[in-house]
Structure 1
Amino acid sequence: MRIRTLAPFALALTIACGGAETEEAAMTEETTEAMDDAPAMSDAEAAMTEITDYYETHFNMGHGSMVGGRYSEDGLLWSASGAMVYGSEAVGAALQARIDAEASQLAIHPGETMGFGDQIVSRGHYVLTGTVDGAEVRNSGYYIAVAENVDGEWSLKGVVSNYDTPDQSMSAGQMMEMPEGMGGDLIQASGDYFATHYNMGHASMVANTFTENTVAMMPGERAREGRVAVEEGLQAMFDAGVTFSGISGWSAHELDEGHVVGIGTYGTEGPDGAAAGHFAGLYSRGEDGGLMLHWLLMGAHASGM
């Protein structure tokens, strides 16, 4: 009786296990196909992901010098406050001072990355938290980073950031002393056109110098995506009484035949008086060869800069 009972049970178990194996195999095959269909991470994205992970990890471990070591010897950190630091050692020292003063913790949220051979340009968002005099502080904003590959090693050539918090605006600070730049004339015509037509109230004309899928990261607000959103932001700023006293390209270089990256400063006049800030831009060439803004980041300098 037991044999007769076990035989059907064994048969049922075999069928059940076989069915489970078949179902599991089908699920595995579907998962594999889904993974195959998923877009592969590009070399540029992989390189920038490694840099970003390293930056965040070692910053949060209090290793300012190690983070600074990921900058090239002539690397630049232009912080949201407007402070500019050159060189890997100086960047490391500045970051260590920030960590020690505020017990800062950093969260980096990468956005889009574009590769240009031995150079990478990336944008994203960050959140920096810490403690000052027993009170919790929080800063957040956007960044544009440029990395370069030298002899197989990726290093940060420059990182420029701003604040997206409401207390930041286009009239938040003063002009700072600028060291000698290089190649700023490459983007100067773009800046002149921007300031001239913006000040004439031609928000639509300025917006037309941005690409259709542009991203504008202005101080004190969330990023604006698309040309229409950029035009709305420019018009609102103009209606609030803010005008540009000038936009100066400081340093820029070609990434390839169709793209340029550059940084510089700007000045404004508004209801609160004269002010200044910094900017970083990724430009693409239009059909006529002129530069169009694909990404724009603007930061307002803190008072006293």
Structure 2
Amino acid sequence: MTVFGFHASHEQLHPRALLDAVIHAERVGFDAGMCSDHFSPWSARQGQSGFAWSWLGSALQATTLPFGVVNAPGQRYHPAIIAQAIGTLAAMYPGRFWAALGTGEASNEHITGDGWPRKDVRNARLRECVEVIRALLAGEKVSHDGLVRVDRARLWTRPEQPPALIGAAVSVATARWCAEWADGLITVNAPLPHLRQMVDAYRDAGGRGPLHLQVHVSWAPEQVEAERIAYDQWRSNVFPPPVCWDLETAEHFDAVSADVPMATVERVVNVSADLGRHVGWLEEYLALGFDQIALHHVGQEQGAFLDAFGAEVLPKLRAR
């Protein structure tokens, strides 16, 4: 049965409010939680960006939900530090934590002052990081000299069972590449033909493990309010790669999205006041074989969304 999760958006909510929201999500029937590890929001209007790893410890303690995080090791983070973070949470909360690893975005990584590498270099760097992280979680003593360097690292606190390392992808090519090393795949909602191609590419290349989908939604009791929320909070997030990978600051995203039309926002956010329409959209994703779907309401107020989807959307999806 598909797991329905709540995506906790650190870019949009203060971490205390986000913790309250995930507690609320469990209470109304969500099965899981996830978040992404950002240093910067996508827009000054979003206005937050708490430290995901601190928050995850609180969220795991405050709920019984399993959690995942999307992270980009290699520039902002040394892979040994990410291995330690993963290992500690998985040791404290066995069976409840997974990590998705990707090549990252300049908006988070430029803060180191290092140059932003080409995508092929970022891919190679991530593969090295994955190998380092897996070896450390397996209890090995690791030294490595390459795009990342590691000197005699060892994890002294490890989980009995290493958690899944999921591959993060938004393109068919990256999904196929993730099949070489990942324990599963995570992507974001997109037109159905594209999602089907991604799933097929991953599985046809030998990809194993669960398929995760993050779905951006905007709901309010009135259509005009659902549209206002989506346009205010998510019009800076409509740009495909490489633009979304390479812009460096929230101000850059705000500048390039100043004249984005609402129709473009609706290509990346499921916007509707009709809960039945949201059920229909989600049923289409279920038919593609996703094992976990994390719902991200793009508004900054989560309570009404959680109550409505917990009462009217999740039960219908589970019944069907």
Higher-RCO chain (CA-CA 8 Å, sequence separation at least 6): 2
Higher Cα Rg, which structure:
1
Structure 1 length normalisation: TM-score? 0.27
Structure 2 length normalisation: TM-score? 0.26
